[in-house]
Amino acid sequence: MALEIKLQLKQMQKLVMTTELRNAIKLLTLSRLELQQLVQQKLLENPFLEEVNDETEDELDEQDTSLAGENQKEDPVSVSKKEEEIDFRKKAEEINWEDFTQAYQDNYETNLSSDYQDKSPQYENILASKVTLSEYLTNQLRLVWSSKEEFEAGCFLIGNLDENGYLATPLSELIEQHHLDSSVVYKAHELLKNLEPEGIGSQNLQECLLAQVKHQGITDPLITKIISNHLPELELSNFKAVADKCNVAEKEVLEALKFIKTLDPKPARNFGGDEIKYIIPDIFVVKVDDKYVVYLNDDGFNNFRINPFYREFLHKKNSDNNATKTYLEQKFRSALWLLKTMRHRQQTIYKVSVSIVNRQKEFFDHGISHLKPMVLREIAKDISLHECTVSRVTSNKYMHTPQGLFELKFFFTSGLTGTEGSRYSCITVKNMIKEIITKENKEKPFSDKRIVQILEGQNLKLARRTIAKYREDLGILPSARRKELV
């Protein structure tokens, strides 16, 4: 069969992801803050969208009045207004402006305090930018340096600190890599270690703790010896071995340990943290009688609409400027799409929230121990939506409940089956493990194997490695490192 090139017509059906559909999906995943920013941007870009408030209503009434009489002759009302304006000008010339100004000033001073306090910004509520570790150390270094070279070397070392306040690279390597004067660098390093916070600029944990001991003027040789040589044994709570190597009683080691615990192994922990982010709930769950009622937080989303002036202008049939009309039609469709999509977004969030509340009533009544395992598929089937849609809705959306503030994704957890057929969510199991460890004897903490046995007594059988995994997720140390001696 010979090869040939030819044209062929063919009909086929396929799903196409339109631009509007992509934007609608993106809108569904936005957080409340991101959506507010998008709305404000659209209000600036699209003349058909406008915020609705009392002033807007008054302006619209005036516009309607002017539009209604734009083709009519001047009526008696407008003539009388002109006469009033002329009369006002005559009276203005007769006013004693000196007395008027003084009266205005007195009235201003009388009402200043109350009006100013009501309308002025509350500066206590304004977040100040945090001082970085680099800025904090550099400002101190300016007060103690003895030569320009030392200051520059100190700033160089500050730039090489990690998030915990340690030198990320040993001094010897820094000197070799950057061809620095070793004597100047070591002097600058000593200056750095004497700055606040104590222990900053150290190369390892021992150096950090010893710097703090020196800074506080502690001269106990046992503390210095333990920090210098026996930190690994302390980590394993092997106090007897430390006492034998130091030729002291175990009681003295425990006394030294009490002081060592007051030292900070991460001197830069108070710097570089993320700013506090305040969360505004998207959904409120309120208990009314014996039922839980879901309310959407529509604040900021229901106070804008289509501008009637531009809509009326668009519908005029005598518009000769086709380019203007095309532009307005495009903006009009964009405004309608935004209003429709936001309405659909709020309806979808409401449906998902109601379904979650109906399934988690015991959690809202009794707390985390009664959280049921739940997956996206169950909610999607309940409200006849796709799992992907439910997943997008639950992203970055927060629900305020009688038990606290939770992201919607919090309610979706895998489940474990108990010995009697009961289902437990992973979060509930972790909470059970946490409670067991909280109530244990600190001198004889429970091992993972013992926790398995305790949970079996509560009709929940788990493997020891599962207990270890959940314990690590909770940030709880193994039993050997949780042991405390009194």
Q: What is the CA radius of gyration of the chain?
A: 36
- Residue at a domain's end among 411, 435, 454: 411
Secondary structure E strands in 362-469:
398-401, 404-407, 415-417, 423-425
- Higher pLDDT residue, 145 or 109? 145
The order of strands in the sheet holding 291-296 is 291-296, 283-288, 398-401, 404-407
Q: Closest Cα to residue 256, out of 228, 284, 285?
A: 228
Band of the pLDDT at 469, cuts 50, 70, 90?
confident
User: How confident is the model over 109-113, as a mean pLDDT?
Assistant: 45
Same domain, 373 and 440: no
pLDDT at 354: 94
pTM above 0.85, yes or no: no
Tell me, what's the pLDDT at 464? 85
Q: pLDDT band at 77, cuts 50/70/90?
A: very low
Q: Which DSSP helix (H) or strand (E) runs through 306?
A: strand 304-306
According to DSSP, residue 220 is labeled -
pLDDT at residue 70, rounded to an integer: 47
What gap in Å lies between CA 409 and CA 282, rounded to an integer?
A: 13
Higher pLDDT, 212 or 73: 212
Beta strands in 274-355 (DSSP E): 283-288, 291-296, 304-306
Structural domain containing residue 386: 283-411
Give a yes or no: residue 61 inside a domain.
no
Q: Decide if pLDDT at 346 tops 80.
A: yes
pLDDT at 353: 94
Q: Of 123 and 438, which is predicted with more confidence?
A: 438
Residue 282 dihedral angles phi and psi, to the nearest 5°: -90, -25
Side-chain half-sphere CA neighbours of 269 within 13 A: 7
CA distance 16 to 302: 31
Same domain flag for 403 and 430: no
Q: What single DSSP character describes residue 130? A: P
d(CA 377, CA 133): 47
For the segment 14-45, what is each residue's pLDDT rounded down to a tens digit?
877 777 778 888 888 888 888 888 888 988 89
pLDDT of residue 55: 57
Residue 97 has pLDDT above 70, yes or no: no
Tell me, yes or no, whether 114 lies in a domain: no
* pLDDT grade for 1, boundaries at 50, 70 and 90: low
Confidence at 468, pLDDT banded by 50, 70, 90: confident
439 and 342 both lie in a single domain: no
| Residue position matching structure tokens 């199991």 | 429
Confidence of residue 110 (pLDDT cuts 50, 70, 90): very low
248 in any annotated domain: yes
Q: Count of domains in the chain?
A: 3
In this structure, the answer to whether residues 355 and 314 fall within a common structural domain is yes
The H or E element spanning position 144 is helix 133-144
Quick one: pLDDT at residue 83?
52
pLDDT confidence bin for 298, thresholds 50/70/90? confident
232 or 316: which leads in pLDDT: 232
Q: CB under 8 Å to 287, separation ≥6 — which residues?
A: 293, 364, 402
Tokens of 167: 């030198």
Q: Which residue has the higher pLDDT, 313 or 177?
A: 177
Per residue in 234-281, pLDDT (tens digit) is 887 788 888 888 888 888 888 888 888 888 888 888 776 555 677 889
The yes-or-no verdict on residue 324 having pLDDT over 90 is: no
Q: Which of 10-24, 220-234, 344-358 has the lowest mean pLDDT?
A: 10-24
Residues 199, 303, single domain; the answer is no
Q: Strand pairing partners for 406?
A: 399
pLDDT value of position 236: 78
> Is the confidence at residue 100, as pLDDT, over 50?
no
Confidence of residue 398 (pLDDT cuts 50, 70, 90): very high
Dihedral sign of CA atoms 159, 163, 165, 170 in order = negative
Q: Do 393 and 435 fall within a single domain?
A: no
Q: What is the mean pLDDT of the chain?
A: 79
Q: In this structure, are 231 and 307 located in the same domain? A: no
Please tell me the distance from the alpha carbon of residue 197 to that of residue 137, in angstroms, as a whole number.
9
Six token digits for residue 260: 């060592």
Q: In whole angstroms, what is the distance from residue 416 CA to residue 428 CA? A: 10
CA distances from 353 to 285, 403, 406 (A): 9, 15, 12
Cβ–Cβ under 8 Å, residues 411 and 374 = yes
Phi and psi of 296, rounded to 5°?
-85, 140
Is the confidence at residue 399, as pLDDT, over 90? yes
Q: Quick one: pLDDT at residue 317?
A: 55
Mean predicted confidence (pLDDT) in 63-83: 48
The DSSP H or E segment spanning 472 is helix 464-473
Position 474 in a domain: yes
pLDDT of residue 124: 47
The pLDDT value recorded for residue 397 is 92
Question: Do residues 161 and 225 share a domain?
Answer: yes
Number of residues in the chain: 486
Task: Please check the confidence at residue 121 and state whether its pLDDT lies above 50.
Answer: no
Task: Please check whether residues 369 and 384 belong to one and the same domain.
Answer: yes
Question: Where residue 459 sits, what CATH number does that domain have?
Answer: 1.10.10.60
Q: Are residues 167 and 232 in the same domain?
A: yes
CB 335 within 8 A of CB 306: yes
Q: Are residues 165 and 249 in the same domain?
A: yes
Do 149 and 256 have their domain in common?
Answer: yes
- Split at pLDDT 50, 70, 90, the class of 319 is low
Statement: residue 400 has pLDDT above 90: yes
Predicted pLDDT at 104: 43
76 within a domain of the structure (yes/no)? no
Which domain-ending residue is among 386, 411, 436?
411
Helix axes 221-229, 205-215, angle to 10 degrees: 170
Average confidence (pLDDT) over 200-211: 90
Helix (H) or strand (E) holding 305, with range, is strand 304-306
Give the percent of the chain with pLDDT over 90: 8
CA distances, 204 to each of 52, 98, 165, 200, 217 (Å): 61, 76, 10, 10, 20
Residue 24 lies in a domain: no
Query: For residue 350, what pLDDT is reported?
Result: 93
How far lies 154's CA from each of 131, 134, 136, 183, in Å? Answer: 18, 11, 13, 12
SS (H, E, C) 278-296: CCCCCEEEEEECCEEEEEE
Position 184 in a domain: yes
d(C-alpha 176, C-alpha 182), whole Å: 9
Q: Which of 199, 227, 260 is the last residue of a domain?
A: 260
- The per-residue pLDDT for 273 is 56
The answer to whether the CB of 394 falls within 8 A of the CB of 352 is yes
Cα 443 versus chain centre, distance: 39
Q: Give the per-residue pLDDT at 88.
A: 45
Q: Report yes or no on 469 lying in a domain.
A: yes
Chain segment 349-369, per-residue pLDDT in tens: 999 999 999 999 989 998 888
Q: Which of 204, 155, 202 is nearest to 180 (CA)?
A: 155
